[in-house]
């Protein structure tokens, strides 16, 4: 009887709204599942985007306040106008951005999400400073960190902001974290008057923005995959906090899913780089190091003609791409090379390290843009058992992710980091502009391997010349 009375008191529109949130959550989960594989990632994006559009529409049309009033026509017009403007700007940016600049765009979009969540929290606090709750303050702090950190990441990836690494920054970041927690506790339990609480909260806002800058500034560009993943998870958490503020299940579920997925990915990538999550949070990440082992051997070069002959008469070739491939924009010519070799009966695959490039999945996206078949992209754990059977490993712009120091040098900053076992291949060709070091600031032992030959020059130019050589054979 009580259940029937309860059902009758719920407005039909409210029932539809709640079911739309449930359906939205299901669509988010389906989207995430489909995005776990490159072949279905596009469909996954469609499902996830649809899962976001649905609650936006139903909330706009059906949501009621405590008094049973819906959104006014004026407010609805403003919301629709803002959504339309954001959609147009986002579509233009997405269409114009180059694949090599995709990490920058991801960071920029992530920053806007953090800023939106922090703004929501600040507005809600100003409405009633006496009733500040934990979710409001967490939304403000996490959203602010995600915003400023993502903007610095954008600047670093775009070459507009340099690296600033100093040992004291680790302790400075720890100090910021302690002060932020202390300020949150002060607001919640200090019993201050409204004016004092506002000063503390605005100080918290400024400190959070500063911390977002300070923990990203020491990070080298090559370490950005982990940082972008972490910042993405922070934006999801901030969105969930905003959902709790507005008691909106769709925002809560969407934020939790993004935050959880981003956190899991961050932890996996930390493992792939032999780092702990706390290293990232306090900025003690990406610093240079010195090898404790003297590198033995000498650098040996290979000519274009010899490289062309070696590749043409091989049975198995593995191409190992890194950020240098993206910088040189050599993905299309690399695909032309692998197609040409396959025409000669050579089996060609691409070995993908989890943190190759500047964002999670960067190499997958880059090679997919060049129409490299998905089945040719093989993850590190799947390719390593077969590396000893590979005739030629071609390293294009990768460095630390193939450095055997991860196995051989206990004093190395990358010791214990999982790598692609290029050193097990029968022959190794490394394409680089010069003898530059990777993010760890140490020599790459692979350069001095007896089986290694260096092919110096711009990756795009070198591969183009190789294609011409092979075609003339």
- Is residue 400 part of the annotated active site? The answer reads yes
E strands, 208-346, in order: 316-321
Q: What is the CA radius of gyration of the chain?
A: 26
The pair of structure tokens assigned to 75 is 């407010």
**Residue closest to 432 by CA, chosen among 394, 396, 469:** 396
Residue 400 near residue 440 (C-beta atoms within 8 A): yes
d(CA 343, CA 293): 43
338, 400, 409, 421: which one is catalytic? 400
| Cα 56 to Cα 25, 80, 116, 258, distances in angstroms | 13, 10, 15, 17
The pair of structure tokens assigned to 91 is 């579509």
66 burial via Cβ count (<10 Å: 0-12, 13-18, 19+): exposed
Residues 104/112/77/129 CA torsion (nearest 10 deg): 180
d(CA 297, CA 18): 67
Number of residues assigned to the chain = 473
User: What element of type H or E holds 377?
Assistant: strand 377-379
The residue assigned the tokens 């191409």 is: 319
Residue 121 near residue 137 (C-beta atoms within 8 A): yes
**Residue closest to 422 by CA, chosen among 396, 375, 384:** 384
By annotation, the residues acting in catalysis are 400
């Amino acid at each position: 009887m009580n259940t029937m009375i309860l059902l009758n008191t719920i407005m039909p529109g409210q029932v539809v709204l709640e079911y739309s949130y449930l359906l939205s959550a299901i669509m988010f989960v389906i989207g995430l599942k489909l995005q776990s594989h490159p072949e279905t990632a596009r469909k996954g994006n469609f499902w996830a985007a649809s899962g976001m559009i649905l609650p936006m529409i139903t909330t706009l049309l059906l949501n009621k306040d405590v008094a049973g009033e819906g959104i006014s026509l004026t407010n609805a017009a403003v919301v629709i106008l803002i959504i339309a403007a954001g959609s147009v700007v986002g579509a233009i940016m997405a269409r114009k951005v180059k694949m090599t600049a995709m990490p920058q765009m991801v960071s920029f979009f992530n920053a806007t999400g953090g800023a939106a969540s922090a703004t929501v929290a600040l507005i809600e606090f100003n409405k009633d400073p006496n009733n500040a709750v934990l979710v409001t303050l967490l939304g403000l702090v996490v959203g602010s960190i995600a915003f400023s950190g993502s903007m610095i990441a954008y600047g670093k990836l775009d070459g507009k902001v340099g690296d600033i690494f100093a040992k004291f920054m680790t302790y400075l970041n720890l100090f910021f974290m302690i002060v932020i927690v202390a300020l949150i506790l002060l607001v919640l339990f200090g019993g201050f008057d409204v004016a004092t609480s506002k000063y503390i909260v605005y100080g918290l806002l400024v400190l959070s923005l500063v911390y977002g800058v300070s923990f990203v500034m020491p990070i080298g560009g090559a370490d950005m995959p982990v940082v972008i993943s972490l910042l993405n998870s922070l934006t999801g958490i901030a969105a969930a906090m905003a959902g709790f503020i507005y008691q909106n299940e769709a925002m809560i579920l969407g934020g939790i899913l993004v935050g959880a997925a981003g956190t899991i990915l961050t932890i996996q990538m930390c493992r792939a780089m032999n780092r702990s999550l706390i290293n990232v949070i306090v900025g003690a990440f990406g610093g240079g190091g010195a090898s404790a082992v003297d590198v033995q051997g000498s650098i040996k070069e290979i000519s274009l003609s010899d490289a062309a002959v070696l590749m043409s008469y091989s049975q198995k070739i593995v191409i190992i791409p890194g950020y240098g491939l993206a910088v040189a924009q050599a993905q299309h010519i690399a695909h032309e090379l692998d197609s040409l070799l396959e025409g000669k009966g050579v089996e060609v695959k691409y070995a993908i390290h989890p943190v190759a490039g500047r964002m999670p999945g960067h190499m997958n996206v880059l090679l997919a843009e060049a129409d490299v078949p998905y089945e040719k992209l093989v993850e590190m754990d799947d390719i390593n058992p077969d590396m000893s059977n590979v005739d030629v490993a071609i390293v294009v712009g990768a460095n630390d992710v193939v450095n055997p120091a991860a196995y051989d040098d206990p004093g190395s900053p990358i010791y214990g980091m999982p790598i692609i076992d290029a050193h097990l291949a029968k022959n190794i060709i490394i394409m680089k502009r010069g003898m530059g070091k990777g993010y760890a600031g140490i020599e790459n032992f692979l350069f001095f391997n007896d089986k290694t030959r260096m092919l110096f020059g711009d990756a795009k130019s070198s591969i183009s010349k190789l294609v011409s050589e092979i075609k003339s054979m």
